[in-house]
Structure 1
Amino acid sequence: MREAGLRADEFETMFFLFGVAGNETLRNGLPGGLYSLLSHPDQYAQLSRRPDLVAPAVEEMLRFWPPVLEFRRTAVRDMVLAGQSIRAGDKVVVYHASANRDESVFPDADRLDIARTPNDHVSFGFGPHFCVGARLARVQMATLIRRVVAELPGLELASGAPPKRLVSNFQNGLKALRVRWR
C-alpha cells in the first residue's frame, strides 16, 4: 500500500496542469466568448439590454467556443458506450466542440443563444474529471463580459480583420481579435 501524498513526478504534473488549466484555458475562453458574442450582434445587443443574462451567456459562450478542443483518457474497465465496445486500456477522446453541438442535447446547436437553458455543456469536463477551477473561471468570465457589455455598448468586430486563431490540436484560442468601438 502506498503512503498518502504525491510522488515528485505526480506533483510536477499537477503543478503544470494547474498552471495551464488556470491560465491558458481562461485566456482562450475569454476572447473566444467575446468573439462568439460579437459574431452575433443580436446576442450582444440583447446582453447589453439584459445584464441579468450574464450567467447563462457565459455558459453559452463556453458551449459555443470551448477553450479546450479535446481531452483524452484511458478506459479503466471494459464497457459499451453508445453501442461501441471499449476495452480497458483503450484511449478514449472527448471532443468538446462536437459534444457541445450535439443536436440531441442542444436544439438548434449551431446558434448562439445567451438565454439557452438548460445548458449542460462539457467544456469543463464532467464526472470525476470536472475542472476544479470551473467556478473561478465562470466568475472571471462573467465579470469581464459584464463590464465590456456595460461600458462598450457599440463594440463590434473590425471589418476586414478576421481573427487570428491559435494553431493547436488541444486549445481553442485566438492570437488576435481586432474590434472597433463606435
Structure 2
Amino acid sequence: MAIGSTLHTFDVQLADTDRGVYDDYSLRVARHPSETDAYMLTRVLAYGLEFGEGIAFGGSVSDTEEPAVLVRDLTGRIVTWIEVGAPDAERLHHASRLAERTVVYTHRDPAKVMAPWADKRIHRAEDIRVHSFDPGFIDTVTPHLERRNTLTLTVTERVLYLDLNGTSLVTALHEHELG
C-alpha cells in the first residue's frame, strides 16, 4: 500500500518591502513521501518570495510538466517558472523557452547546484537567477515545522526575517547568475 502525501498548512504574513508586496494568506501544502522537509520549506519560501497575482504550486515532486511553483497570467500562460532544489540543465532550457522569467530557489550549495549546468545548452541562461539562503539556514528552520504552521516573512534590503511558530531566524537572500 502506497504512503500518501502529508498535508501541512501555513498561515502566512508577508511583508516584502523590497518589492512592495504585503499580504496575509494561507497555504495547504501536500508533502510527498519522497520530499524532504528542506525541499518543502524551500518551496514555501519561494512561494512567499515570489508571491503575486497568479502564483500557484505546480504539480507533484515527480511531475516533469510543471515546476514546483509557477505564476500564470490571466490567459493561463506561465510567465514565471520557479524551480526548487537542483534542476538539470534540460529542465532549465525548457523552462526558459516556455516562460518569460525562470528562477531557481535552492536549499543546497549554489555552486554545486550550478556546476553541472556549465557548458550545457540553456536558453537565455544569462537571464536565469538562482536564489539561495545562508549556509545551514534551511536546516536550522526545518526542526520547527509542524503540520499547522504560523509563518511571518519580512524582506528588507535582501534580508529575510522569518518567524516560524514562534522561532525567529534571519538570512541574507543571495542571488547568483548563470551567465
Q: Same fold (TM over 0.5)?
A: no
TM superposition score normalised by structure 2: 0.30
TM superposition score normalised by structure 1: 0.30
Higher normalized contact order (CA 8 Å, seq sep 6+, divided by chain length): 1
Q: Which structure has more strand as a fraction of its residues? A: 2
Q: Which structure has more helix as a fraction of its residues? A: 1
